[in-house]
Structure 1
Amino acid sequence: MSNAKVMIVDDALFMRKNLGTILRDKGYTVVAEAASGIETMKKLHDCDPDIVFLDIILPDANGMQLLDFIRNIKPQVKVILCSAIGQEAIVKKGLESGASFFVQKPFNPEKIAEALENLGE
């Protein structure tokens, strides 16, 4: 399902661009990018993604709360958590809360491929 629609949520523009390039190279369609929790909530309905790459730390939102929001509104969406902090407790809580996978930043194509394969994509 490499034609899946993906939304990238990260406050760092260079991270969104880097991940977007990796995803496009793998045949995915990036339908939206968001730099904040509010932007994510506004765009989620319009872009109707299959997959959301979600940064855990955002300037105006806690990624875990945003994960709950996404799971409640669009339970079919697969969420891949992303963060430079690999704090085990946070990652574990995210996976228990419905995230499909965790990817450590900085992004590399192999880790992104591994995450997508774990989704069955």
Structure 2
Amino acid sequence: MARILITDDAAFMRMQLKDIFTKLGHEVVGEAENGIVSIDKYKELKPDLVTMDITMPEMNGVEAVKQIKAIDPNAIIVMVSAMGQQEMVIEAIQAGAKDFIVKPFTQDRIQEALDKIF
């Protein structure tokens, strides 16, 4: 069972991800609505996995990945992006993200990403 921090500016996306992770037997330990909150919660909660939206107010996902990786080089981060954000996804992977999931996602795709990571 992984302890997960979900980062997305859309509350319904956080709810959808939380629902899927819970069904898959994982624990969602926190939620963040932007990169700045995500970094603070990462420090506080030390989750096993962070899901990171790319486009968010205050601080985008790519910048948050860089900062979280600077705090903890072993952090496991999976990007969750809309279609058409390939360049930012590539940038995030180069910054240290482990995988990416394209919205709209399915439970199967999330399980597949988790299987690759853990």
Do 2:14 and 2:31's aligned partners in 1 also have CA atoms closer than 8 Å? Answer: yes
Q: How far is the alpha carbon of 1:107 from its aligned partner?
A: 2.3
Q: How far is the alpha carbon of 1:37 from its aligned partner?
A: 2.0
Q: Which moved more, 1:102-111 or 1:11-20?
A: 102-111
Partner secondary structure for residue 4 of structure 2 = strand
Q: How far is the alpha carbon of 1:68 from its aligned partner?
A: 0.2
**Counterpart selection for 2:11 from 13, 30, 34:** 13
Q: Which runs of 4+ in 1 moved over 6 A?
A: none
TM-score normalised by length of structure 2: 0.93
**Counterpart selection for 1:84 from 82, 85, 88:** 82
Residue 61 of structure 2 aligns with which residue?
63
Residue 4 of structure 1 aligns with which residue?
2
Q: Which moved more, 1:85-94 or 1:104-113?
A: 85-94
Is the counterpart of residue 103 in structure 1 residue 105 in structure 2?
A: no
Work out the CA distance in 1 between the residues paired with 2:36 and 2:65. Answer: 13
- CA-to-partner distance for each residue in 1:27-70, whole Å, 9 max, x for gaps? 11111000012211221111110100000011111211101001
Work out the CA distance in 2 between the residues paired with 1:16 and 1:58. Answer: 13
Q: Which moved more, 1:88-97 or 1:70-79?
A: 88-97
The root-mean-square deviation of aligned C-alpha atoms, in Å, is 1.1
Do 2:35 and 2:63's aligned partners in 1 also have CA atoms closer than 8 Å? Answer: no
Aligned sequence identity (%):
37
Partner secondary structure for residue 86 of structure 1 = coil
Do 1:18 and 1:107's aligned partners in 2 also have CA atoms closer than 8 Å? Answer: no
Do 1:82 and 1:103's aligned partners in 2 also have CA atoms closer than 8 Å? Answer: yes
Consecutive unaligned residues of structure 1, counting only runs of 5 or more, are none
Partner secondary structure for residue 33 of structure 1 = strand
Do 2:6 and 2:50's aligned partners in 1 also have CA atoms closer than 8 Å? Answer: yes
Do 2:7 and 2:52's aligned partners in 1 also have CA atoms closer than 8 Å? Answer: yes
How many pairs are equivalent? 118
